Structure 1
Amino acid sequence: MKLKVLFVFLFAFTLCVKAQTSSSARDSIAAITQKDFLNMKQQLGITIDNRPGPSGDPTASNAANSDEDKVVPYTLPDPLIANNGKAITGQGDWQNVRRPQLVKLFEDEMYGHLPKDLPNVEWAVKHEKDTTAGPYPVTEILLKGTVDNSRYPQIQVEIELLIGLPKGTSEAIPLVTRFGSITWPFGPPPEEPKSYFISAYEPLWKQQLISKKWGYAILVPSSIQDDNGAGLTSGIIGLVNKGQYRKPGQWGALRAWAWGAGQAMDYFSTNPLIDESRIGIEGTSRYGKAALVTMAFDERFSLGFIGSSGAGGASLLRRNFGEMVENLASSGEYHWFCGNFIKYASVLTVEELPVDAHELVALCAPRPVFISVGSPLIEGNWVDGKGMFLAGVHASPVYKLLGKKGLNTNDFPPMGEALTSGEIAFRQHAGGHSTGPNWSTWLAWADRYWSR
Structure 2
Amino acid sequence: MPSLEANYNETQVPAYELPDLLRFENGELAQTPDDWRRRRSELLALFRSQVYGQAPPRPANMRAEVYESSADALDGLAVRRQIRLHFDVPEITPLELLIYLPAHVEGPTPMFAGLNFFGNHTVQDDPAITLSSRWMRASDPYAVVNHRATEASRGKAASRWPVREIVGRGYGVATMYYGDLAPDNADFYRDGVQGLFAPDRTGLPGAEEAGAIGIWAWGLQRILDYLETDEQADATRVTAVGHSRLGKAAVWAAAQDERFAMAISNNSGCTGAALSRRCFGETVGIINEKFPHWFCGNYKRYSGRENALPLDQHMFLALLAPRPIYVASADEDLWADPLGEFLALKAAEPVYHLLGMGGLSAEAMPPIGEPVHGVQSYHIRQGTHGITSEDWAYYLDHADRFLVS
Question: What TM-score comes out, normalization by structure 2 length?
Answer: 0.87
Residue matched to 2:33:
91
What does 1:183-202 correspond to in 2, within 5 Å? 183=121, 184-185=129-130, 187=151, 189-192=154-157
CA distance in 2, matches of 1:306, 1:136: 31
Residue matched to 2:349:
396
What does 1:362-373 correspond to in 2, within 5 Å? 362-373=318-329
One-letter identity of the residue aligned with 1:338: C
- Alpha carbons 1:136, 1:211 under 8 Å: kept: no
- Alpha carbons 1:237, 1:251 under 8 Å: kept: no
CA distance in 2, matches of 1:353, 1:266: 33
1:182 and 2:120 aligned: yes
- Alpha carbons 2:7, 2:281 under 8 Å: kept: yes
CA distance in 2, matches of 1:360, 1:399: 13
CA distance in 1, matches of 2:310, 2:383: 34
Give 4+ residue runs of structure 1 displaced > 4 Å after superposition. 116-119, 130-133
| CA drift at 1:244 | 4.7
Q: Please identify the structure whose Cα radius of gyration is greater.
A: 1
1:109 and 2:50 aligned: yes
CA distance in 2, matches of 1:79, 1:416: 30
1:120 and 2:79 aligned: no
1:386 and 2:342 aligned: no
CA distance in 2, matches of 1:345, 1:306: 23
Q: Which has the higher helix share?
A: 1
Stretches of structure 1 that go unaligned for 5 or more consecutive residues are 1-49, 55-63, 197-203
- Output one character per residue of 1:233-257: Cα deviation in whole Å (capped at 9) or x when no partner: 4222244222254431111111111
- Output one character per residue of 1:374-420: Cα deviation in whole Å (capped at 9) or x when no partner: 221xxx31000110000100001111111112212231121111111
Given the alignment, which residue of 386, 401, 404 partners 1:434? 386
- Alpha carbons 1:136, 1:166 under 8 Å: kept: no
Residues 115 and 191 of structure 1: CA distance in aligned 2, closer, same or farther (over 3 Å): closer
- Output one character per residue of 1:168-224: Cα deviation in whole Å (capped at 9) or x when no partner: 544111011121131113557422487x6xxxxxxx621221112211111221111
CA RMSD of aligned residues (A): 2.0
CA distance in 2, matches of 1:357, 1:321: 14
One-letter identity of the residue aligned with 2:383: G
Residue matched to 1:351:
307
CA distance in 1, matches of 2:35, 2:53: 24
- Count the aligned residue pairs: 373
One-letter identity of the residue aligned with 2:12: K
1:221 and 2:161 aligned: no
- Alpha carbons 2:77, 2:164 under 8 Å: kept: no
- Alpha carbons 2:174, 2:223 under 8 Å: kept: no
| CA drift at 1:293 | 1.0
What does 1:154-173 correspond to in 2, within 5 Å? 155-173=91-109
Secondary structure of 2:251 counterpart: helix
| CA drift at 1:117 | 8.3
Residues 442 and 193 of structure 1: CA distance in aligned 2, closer, same or farther (over 3 Å): same
Residue matched to 1:15:
none
Question: What TM-score comes out, normalization by structure 1 length?
Answer: 0.78
Residue matched to 1:206:
163
| CA drift at 1:368 | 0.5
One-letter identity of the residue aligned with 2:285: E
Residue matched to 2:124:
none
Residues 81 and 136 of structure 1: CA distance in aligned 2, closer, same or farther (over 3 Å): farther
Secondary structure of 2:81 counterpart: strand
What does 1:333-352 correspond to in 2, within 5 Å? 333-345=291-303, 349-352=305-308
| CA drift at 1:115 | 3.4
| CA drift at 1:329 | 1.4
Stretches of structure 2 that go unaligned for 5 or more consecutive residues are 122-128, 132-150
Residue matched to 1:361:
317
Given the alignment, which residue of 230, 236, 243 partners 1:284? 243
Residue matched to 2:140:
none
Identical aligned residues as a percent:
31
CA distance in 1, matches of 2:59, 2:188: 18
Given the alignment, which residue of 258, 262, 268 partners 2:221? 262
CA distance in 1, matches of 2:58, 2:163: 36
- Output one character per residue of 1:30-61: Cα deviation in whole Å (capped at 9) or x when no partner: xxxxxxxxxxxxxxxxxxxx42422xxxxxxx
